[in-house]
Amino acid sequence: MNRKYIDFFLSFFCDRLIEQSQSDLNPELKVFLSNGRYKLVTGHAVYSYDDRYTNFLQSFRELKKELSKVKTCLVLGLGMGSIPLMLERKMNLSVDCTAVELDPEIIRLYEKYTAPRLKNKVRITEGDAWNYLASNPSKFDLICMDVFEDAKVPEKFSSPQFCGMLRDHLHEDAVLIYNRLEETDQDHRENNIFFENIFQPVFPDARVLKLEANRMYIAKKSAASDLQH
C-alpha cells in the first residue's frame, strides 16, 4: 500500500510526522498528518490545522451572516493556509484572498501541502505585516490577524498604532478577527490590558469570543470607530 495512504489511515490513531524543517525565524517547524489533516507545529504553538484550526472556524461560524458578504480577505500570518481553506471549504465562500507571511519556509510548506487543494487563488506577500499595512492602501471586507512568534504576538502588533492601521484597511462595516493565545494567568492579564486599553478604544463595539486556549477579538469598522481613531 502507498505510504501516503498508510500515513492517512494511521493519522486517525496518532499524529504522523510528514516533514520537519526550520528557518531563521522558526528553528522548529513540523508538519504532521493528524486526523487526516495537515497540522503545522512550532516549538510551542499550532500554526495551522486545516479545518480543525478551531479558533478561526468558530469565529467564522459566529459571523456567518457577516461573512456572506465578504469578497476580499487579508490574512496576516498565513501559516499553512487554514484560514483560506476554511473560508472555501467550510463557509463555501469564493473570496479574493491576500496573505502576508514573513517566513519563506512557511510559504514553501503552504505551497506544497495546501495550495494544491484550493480552488481560490491566494496572493502571497512575503514580508512583515506592519510594513505591508504601512505601504499598501488596499481595503478589505475581512481581516484575519494571526501573527505569532511561536506562542506570542510580537509587541508591535499589540500597539494602538497597529490597531489603527488594521482599522484603516477595513471597508465600512467590514470585519476584523484578531487572534491571541490565552493559556496562562499571565496571558489572561495581558489580554485584558490589551483589549481594554488598546483594542477597544480603536474598536468601541468590539467583542471577545472566549475559546479554550484562545481569545478572538471581533470588531467591525463603523462610523463610531472612525471618530475614536
Q: Is residue 1 part of a domain?
A: no
Q: Is residue 64 part of a domain?
A: yes
Contacts (Cβ under 8 Å, ≥6 apart) of 196: none
- As separate numbers, helices (DSSP H) first and strands (DSSP E) second, the chain gives 10, 11
Q: Is residue 89 part of a domain?
A: yes
Q: Is residue 11 part of a domain?
A: no
Please give the model's pTM, rounded to 2 decimal places.
Answer: 0.94
If you search the block for the grid coordinates 484560514, which residue do you land on?
A: 83
Cell numbers at residue 129, please?
505585516
CATH number at residue 121: 3.40.50.150
Q: What element of type H or E holds 89?
A: helix 82-89
Q: Is residue 123 part of a domain?
A: yes
Q: Is residue 201 part of a domain?
A: yes
If one counts every other C-beta atom within 10 angstroms of the C-beta of residue 100, the result is 22
DSSP bridge pairs for 32: 17, 39
Residue type (1 letter), 56: F
Q: Specify the number of domains making up the chain.
A: 1
Q: Is residue 165 part of a domain?
A: yes
Mean pLDDT by 10 residues, the chain (229 residues): 85 96 95 97 93 96 95 97 98 97 98 96 96 97 95 94 97 96 95 97 96 95 53
Q: Is residue 34 part of a domain?
A: no
| pLDDT (0 to 100) of residue 224 | 44
| pLDDT (0 to 100) of residue 3 | 84
Q: Which domain holds residue 125?
A: 52-228
| pLDDT (0 to 100) of residue 150 | 85
CA dist., res. 97 & res. 101, Å (int): 13
